[in-house]
Chain A
Amino acid sequence: DAGITQSPRHKVTETGTPVTLRCHQTENHRYMYWYRQDPGHGLRLIHYSYGVKDTDKGEVSDGYSVSRSKTEDFLLTLESATSSQTSVYFCAISLAGGQNEQFFGPGTRLTVL
């Protein structure tokens, strides 16, 4: 158990609504990541953080923003949800950068109607 929780675990929302997903870790790891999982695509990186208030974009960042005000929390916000953002969202952590393994949370299933 990597000590990662995500909330909510399930959410249904309507197009145009803002949505915030939360990732919380108890491991004090420096690096945190947000991925989305879609059939046929594996996992794709949305944003990542390498420290408090230090974040950067991944390969599919359009329509998403993130914030990290504390080491343990990494928030993903959809400013105005669209149906194309219906997906399963996973948070991950790693102790260091480089080529170290990442540990994943249980996921949030988001449906945008």
Chain B
Amino acid sequence: GDSVTQMEGPVTLSEEAFLTINCTYTATGYPSLFWYVQYPGEGLQLLLKATKADDKGSNKGFEATYRKETTSFHLEKGSVQVSDSAVYFCALSDGAGGYNKLIFGAGTRLAVHP
């Protein structure tokens, strides 16, 4: 079945460092891809999405490009801030069965230090 694999954390960076969190997926169809962020004690917030191959999702300085050839959707940010410390989840939706089935990766915790 469909699955999402994320790099294990925690990822620890200094402020203003470059961030990459790897995400690869397995899907039989043509899924939409998402990155969600979870701040401590809160629910998940949609960070960005891409719905087809070569689409680039972007928001708040974060970017991810839907790469069908490598089945990847890596999250990047050029200069992280302490406020970016959170858990990041990669997810896919294949639309199977008519309802919106989201499959999540295990999450990657990011800690940014001043």
Interface residues of A (CB under 8 A from B): 4, 31, 33, 40-45, 48, 50, 56, 90, 92, 94, 96-107
Contact = CB atoms under 8 A, between A and B. Distances in A.
A40 B106 contact: yes
A94 B4 CA distance: 21
B34 A104 contact: no
**Interface range on chain B: under 10, 10 to 19, 20 to 34, or 35 or more?**
20 to 34
Interface of B: 4, 31-32, 34, 36, 42-46, 49, 51, 89, 91, 93-95, 98-102, 104-107
Contacts of B101: 45
A106 B43 contact: yes
Given A40-B106, A41-B106, A94-B100, A99 B45 contact: no
B89 A98 contact: no
A98 B93 CA distance: 8
Contacts of B107: 42
B88 to A, nearest CB: 11
B44 A90 contact: yes
Nearest to A43: B104
A33 B34 CA distance: 17
B105 A101 contact: no
Contact of A106 (B4, B31, B42, B99): B42
Q: Is the interface of A mostly helix, strand, loop or mixed?
A: strand
B43 A107 contact: yes
Given A43-B44, A104-B45, A99 B100 contact: yes
A14 B106 CA distance: 28
Contacts of B98: 50, 97-98
Given A98-B100, A102-B100, A107-B43, A42 B105 contact: yes
The 6 closest A-B pairs by CB, nearest first: A42-B104, A99-B32, A104-B43, A104-B44, A99-B93, A98-B95
A3 to B, nearest CB: 12
A106 B38 CA distance: 10
8 contacts: A4-B43, A42-B91, A48-B99, A94-B100, A97-B98, A97-B100, A99-B94, A99-B95
